[in-house]
Amino acid sequence: MSFEIFFQNLLNALQWGSFYALIALGYTMVYGVLLLINFAHGDIFMVGAYIGFFFATLLMGKYAGFSTGLPPAVIFGLTVLVTMVLTAGVGVAIERIAYRPLRRKGASRLYVVITALMCGLILENGNLALLGASRRNFPELLPNTVHNIAGVTFSNVKILVIVTTILVFILLETIVRKTKLGMAMRAISYDRMAVPLMGIPVDTVIVFTFILGSSMAALAGVLFATAYPVLEPYMGALVGWKAFIAAVLGGIGEIRGAFVGGFLLGFVEIFVAALFPSTLRDLIAFSILLVFLSIKPTGIFGIARATKI
């Protein structure tokens, strides 16, 4: 593999790793707080992409008689922000409607996980019923410029995705390390029973976690749609599964684990595809990860959890 091709693949791996990392975050944070694998999360990513699509096309004046005349880059910025807020609302709504009642009744975690799976299916099929099976093309809001440095070509979108993900990592680490809500998130993952004794409303912390996770999935959705502008109702399924695998690889419950796991998965996939026929990509990539997990079942940063009595 020549130097240029290596770097080309490296950038691709970083971009895909970024998507996985941003989605894996939601899995890992919700697991940290609730010990729940939120299988609806991949579909939250899909919902984010769709909300972004509708909001962007609305601002661009695709619907009757309404046009803002804003420049596309501004529309992009607004779309990202509004999509994050609205998608966070969807995530919180699912928590309220589906998970909280079960929690109140002290339902076993298995039932909550099954409920999460059903919520994901409802989102997918609800989208299908509402909008039909036709694919939608995400509008090109950022002029796709391709740069070339020493034989390595890269687009501005790719750089945007990678830089955004790194900034998100720094932001989230700061929130979780420095703010009281972040501390409360960590505290809940260690000992849920003692948290209300500190005067902390557990539900507030849970809602905050869903807001963070869903808005990051929405960010991933809009960035993904900007890089690969075809939307369909099942787009969140496979990417969601892979992001979940990334979260487990990194050590579920750990924020840095989600990032490292996401990038690791990106690297393995891209470099396997670069060296082997691309039809074998997932087969080889996941075989490698299977071996990795059998050696270190807790993931990279995970610690074995002793069941507390």
The residue ranges that bind another protein (CB under 8 A) are 104, 106, 180, 183-184, 186-187, 189-191, 193-194, 196-202
Q: How far is the CB of 304 from another protein (least distance, A)?
A: 14
Distance CA(20)–CA(22), nearest Å, equals 6
Closest to another protein by CB, 149 vs 193, is 193
Two tokens at 191?
């000992």
Distance CA(214)–CA(85), nearest Å, equals 9
Task: Please name which of 92, 32, 6, 42 lies closest in space to residue 221, comparing C-alpha atoms.
Answer: 42
Closest to another protein by CB, 78 vs 256, is 256
Strand partners, 146: 155
Q: How far is the CB of 89 from another protein (least distance, A)?
A: 24
Q: How far is the CB of 191 from another protein (least distance, A)?
A: 5
Q: How far is the CB of 97 from another protein (least distance, A)?
A: 20
DSSP string, 251-290: -TT-HHHHHHHHHHHHHHHHHHHHHS-GGGHHHHHHHHHH
Task: Please name which of 247, 19, 306, 5 lies closest in space to residue 150, comparing C-alpha atoms.
Answer: 5
Closest to another protein by CB, 3 vs 190, is 190
Q: How far is the CB of 309 from another protein (least distance, A)?
A: 9
* Cα distance from N-terminal residue to C-terminal residue, the chain: 54
Q: Which residues contact 140 (CB under 8 A, 6 or more apart)?
A: 72, 226, 229
Q: How far is the CB of 19 from another protein (least distance, A)?
A: 29
Closest to another protein by CB, 86 vs 188, is 188
Q: How far is the CB of 281 from another protein (least distance, A)?
A: 37
Closest to another protein by CB, 130 vs 193, is 193
Two tokens at 172?
């989230």
Asked if 112 and 85 count as a contact pair (C-beta separation under 8 A), the reply is no
Closest to another protein by CB, 190 vs 241, is 190
Residues 244-275 as b/e (b if ≥16 CB within 10 A, e otherwise) read bbbbbbbbbbbbbbbbbbbbbbbbbbbbbbbe
Task: Using only the alpha carbons of the chain, give its radius of gyration.
Answer: 20
Closest to another protein by CB, 73 vs 198, is 198
